[in-house]
Amino acid sequence: MKYYSTRDSALRIGGAEAVKMGLSRDGGLLTPETIPQIGADFLNSLVHASYQRRAAKVMALYLTDYSEEELLGFAENAYGPDKFDHPAAAPLRKVDGSTHCLELWHGPTSAFKDMALQMLPQLLSAALRKTGEDKTVCILVATSGDTGKAAMEGFADVPQTRIMVFYPRDGVSDVQKAQMVTQEGQNVGVCAVAGNFDDAQAGVKRIFSDEAIRKTLADRGYFLSSANSINWGRILPQVVYYISAYCDLLRDGEIKMGDKVNFCVPTGNFGDILAAYYAKRMGLPVGRLICASNCNDVLTDFLRTGVYDRNRPFHTTMSPSMDILVSSNLERLLFDLSGENDAEVRGYMEALNTSGTYEVSGTIKAALREQFWAGFCDEAGTSETIARYYKEYGYLIDTHTAVAAQVMEQYRAATGDGTPAVFVSTASPYKFCDHVLEAIGETPRGSGVELLDQLHGKTGVAIPKRLAALKGKAPRFDLTAEKAEMDGVVLDFLK
């Protein structure tokens, strides 16, 4: 399987090289040249398989320069009991007769990013060996809250790697910040950015495309790669859990083979729902993909109208991992829906860069209407949904999961579609204790990790052990930089 850039389809590189590179040097995203197809026989073979074996089978379809045995070993390391607190890794919880929740937060950082970022370091380390790379890779990460910690947890003290994480200074929860600034490991660095996630992400992309910086770092023995979902090695492990969820529904008798399932995904950078789209393109029986946004509803407007317009107020919300106005992974969707027309995609991205807006073709608009439904949930709706799910179902959910649950209900009310639905839970409620406490009628007594015990005392829901371990842990990092200073931070980090 070869990979090419969304902005230059003449480029052809192997899977290991794509994982190693992270982002194409032309600024495009690396994308598989074909989408492997799966059918009933493939799915039946996985119904009673472990999550690890499902992961190896799915990933082997795309990473043909890795062996399935090799990938199974990686999956056993990534999703084993020393990392995940649930044997299924990504379990389904039944909410009612036609609704399930896919819990993706049972890993070491209590967020869905662990599903990919426990796998990516192993894929990347193998890629360095396979490509004969002797330089040290520096992983640059822009995070809206969860990716940074999950990436550092995955890459901490991994040989031949360094990792620098940038997060918006005032745009993450107290627990998310505590997780990042206390991270252990001799090869990690963390820096707050005076701006929002889009500023941090733009800065990382700028550094990637700066030939002078790349040459300076090469002279020092480094090259750059990414752990953001712009790296194909991040997207591919996420495809797995949609296929796994379908297999679990089959195993438990909730559906029959071939029955369609709708997935509702809370998303900001469009990576998580893009993975669901790829699963559908592979032949997984998926009905509608429901895209759930918070008040930063740029994706809702785009999927409804075909016009992407980032020129709007930026809202800092209680679901910070979705506080994004420039959704990078949308570029991969546009590439696929345009018939892999790299010139068309380049035009959209250039317009976004220069004017902040673009409008897609009629063909793409029609495809968006057929494949997706989009809605958003405001702050009041998020709180109300947390309270209602706790009261009616005894189910404590976080702010991002609440957005998905609420938008899924909007979809059903608007369409009357009774297709079985799975909404995606992307974080433990303990990562957002203050907002969850307020939603269920409690007044927070303190902030950050101080609230873990209060939420546990109220609900009895177990505190993830690694979050509990944050209490009393001293920060290691306190660096803050302006947007224009990010280049210097990286160069200083790699002296």
Q: Tens of pLDDT along 97-130? A: 999 999 999 999 999 999 999 999 999 999 999 9
pLDDT average, residue stretch 343-372? 98
**End-to-end CA gap in the chain:** 37
Range name among 19-28, 404-413, 484-493 with the lowest pLDDT average: 19-28
Long-range contacts of 309-316 (CB under 8 A, 24+ apart): 309/356, 309/357, 310/198, 310/352, 310/356, 310/357, 311/356, 311/357, 314/196, 314/198, 316/170, 316/171, 316/196
- CA geometry: angle 73, 74, 76, nearest 5 deg: 65
Task: Look at residue 145 in the predicted model and tell me its pLDDT.
Answer: 82
pLDDT average, residue stretch 78-97? 97
Helices (H), 171-231: 174-181, 197-208, 211-219
pLDDT average, residue stretch 315-339? 96
pLDDT average, residue stretch 67-92? 97
Task: Look at residue 410 in the predicted model and tell me its pLDDT.
Answer: 98
**Maximum C-alpha span of the chain:** 60
Q: Rounded to whole angstroms, what are the CA distances from 216 to 160, 163, 202, 491, 495?
A: 18, 17, 20, 9, 10
In the structure encoding, which two tokens stand for residue 362, read together? 């009629």
User: Between these two residues, 100 and 230, which has the higher pLDDT value?
Assistant: 100
Q: Is the pLDDT of residue 478 over 90?
A: yes
pLDDT average, residue stretch 361-377? 98
Task: Look at residue 72 in the predicted model and tell me its pLDDT.
Answer: 98
By annotation, the residues acting in catalysis are 113
pLDDT average, residue stretch 180-201? 95
Task: Look at residue 228 in the predicted model and tell me its pLDDT.
Answer: 83
pLDDT average, residue stretch 198-211? 92
Local confidence band at 229 (pLDDT 50, 70, 90 cut-offs)? confident
pLDDT average, residue stretch 139-151? 92
Range name among 107-116, 138-147, 385-394 with the lowest pLDDT average: 138-147
pLDDT average, residue stretch 133-144? 94
Q: Is the pLDDT of residue 25 over 90?
A: no
Local confidence band at 281 (pLDDT 50, 70, 90 cut-offs)? very high
pLDDT average, residue stretch 251-268? 97
> How many angstroms separate the CA atoms of 105 and 276, rounded?
17
> How many angstroms separate the CA atoms of 344 and 266, rounded?
28
pLDDT average, residue stretch 388-416? 98
Segment 26-50, tens digit of pLDDT:
889 999 999 999 999 999 999 999 9
What pTM was computed for the model? 0.95
Q: Is the pLDDT of residue 400 over 90?
A: yes
Task: Look at residue 144 in the predicted model and tell me its pLDDT.
Answer: 87
Q: Is the pLDDT of residue 338 over 90?
A: yes
Segment 293-313, tens digit of pLDDT:
999 999 999 999 999 999 999
Q: Is the pLDDT of residue 230 over 90?
A: no
Residues near 408 by Cβ (< 8 Å), separated by ≥ 6? Answer: 99, 262, 264, 290, 292, 421, 423
